[in-house]
Structure 1
């Protein structure tokens, strides 16, 4: 079963949604038969490579939100994140364009696919890069638009520094990022995170773990219906509510 997830690195609810989905998947009986694929989405593609201001200033000035409202929002999201084991620090967030980070994730996806093709077994390089970038942005106050940070994250996840530099310099995965964004538009996705299970069921937002568990179970049952074998003529004995 396939699960496709659209999310942005600069999205606090995307990290929370990732955690909640992971908890549901960890308890799913058929988790080893689920393939998770990350897709790119940008909440603000017009953001410059580096924004000379704080997260509060960015949301206040560019989004037109009142500073007091932004502070309240930060507090609420941080509390929710903490319940999922995430240590958000909005005071340290470095506002930066996430496009290069999405390119790095696509490089990791390509490496994973190449590894699977060699029979080396499934890899989770892309998930490791996604996780590290989200943590770098919301927990560590690192600049996800910085080449130095991107290289550090990629190498720690198992990518070769030369491959990272080459891909980012050449823009090897720019088209792949844009393709993800166009697909999101074609699906009517306007906010993230957004989860698509087996191309049939859509789950919008960082829903509770219980809802993700229900969605996984529903999608699995529909894709793998129970097939009854046997007939009345074979007189297969069985027990029921009234006895055996």
Structure 2
């Protein structure tokens, strides 16, 4: 989990790994490095969408998910037999499961104020690599809209439903519910397709100095880290839309 600076900052960023899309070019392209098991990333996704909708040019914004694993070495939990998030936090930061629950409850309270339901007592600490691969598949199959739907479904499955999002049966069901073709999803899960997309995103994150998520880069020149307010994200969009 990352801390949040007060306002957008100018920071160099490498070109995005994904093509911008069809002509005409959007006025603002926002690349957001995030992990589907990061509650602040879920919160940032909601607030950034609200900021886009509040801007007077929402259709000129292209939002793109960039993969980032907070714990690449996390064991695959498979069907929820791993640690709960609360137990994991208690192990990582000390204080045991009770301390982990206290940390989780604070995040859940903030999320609830933004209309997001998080049941972190039930959430399972999971490896997010395959979920990121399926979000990449969604972008290829249906562009930003399907990518967003897949990402939202992964967040909801993990935070609201206590599902093990590294279990392939769970991933297959969630991806299908988001609108992906089940046969394509099954084929991707059967091999390492889109692994290079995840690795490329993470490599670029290291190159531009990203150490925590969420981290948003607008038009490859303005960046802001942490789960910012809607107002800060709106300021980011407006600033990015101005000529450099």
TM over 0.5: yes
Give the ranges of 4+ consecutive aligned residues of structure 1 lying more than 3 Å apart after TM superposition. none
**Is 1:213 paired with 2:242?**
no
Which residue is equivalent to 2:76? 49
The structure whose Rg is larger is: 1
- CA-to-partner distance for each residue in 1:125-164, whole Å, 9 max, x for gaps? 1100000100110011111011111111111222111100
TM-score, with length taken from structure 2: 0.84
Residue equivalent to 1:175: 196
Question: Separation in 1 of the partners of 2:55 and 2:228?
Answer: 16
Please point out which of 107, 131, 141 is paired with 1:111.
141
Task: Give the number of equivalent residue pairs.
Answer: 213
> Tell me, what secondary structure is at the counterpart of 1:49?
coil
User: Cα offset for 1:109?
Assistant: 1.0
Cα shift readout 1:35-56 (whole Å, capped 9, x = no counterpart): 1110100000011111632222
For the residue of structure 1 that corresponds to 2:94, the secondary structure is coil
Alignment partner, residue 117 of structure 2: 87
The two structures, once aligned, show a CA RMSD in angstroms of 1.3
Task: Tell me the residue number matched to 2:21.
Answer: none
Q: Highest relative contact order (Cα 8 Å, sep 6+), 1 or 2? A: 2
Residues 1:33 and 2:60 aligned together: yes
CA distances 1:82-118 after superposition (whole Å, capped 9, x unpaired): 01101111111012100000000010011125xxxxx
- 2:208 is matched with which residue? 187
Match of 1:239 in 2: none
- What does residue range 40-189 of structure 1 map to in structure 2 within 5 Å? 40-50=67-77, 52-61=82-91, 63-67=92-96, 68-113=98-143, 124-189=145-210
Structure 2, unaligned runs of 5 or more: 1-27
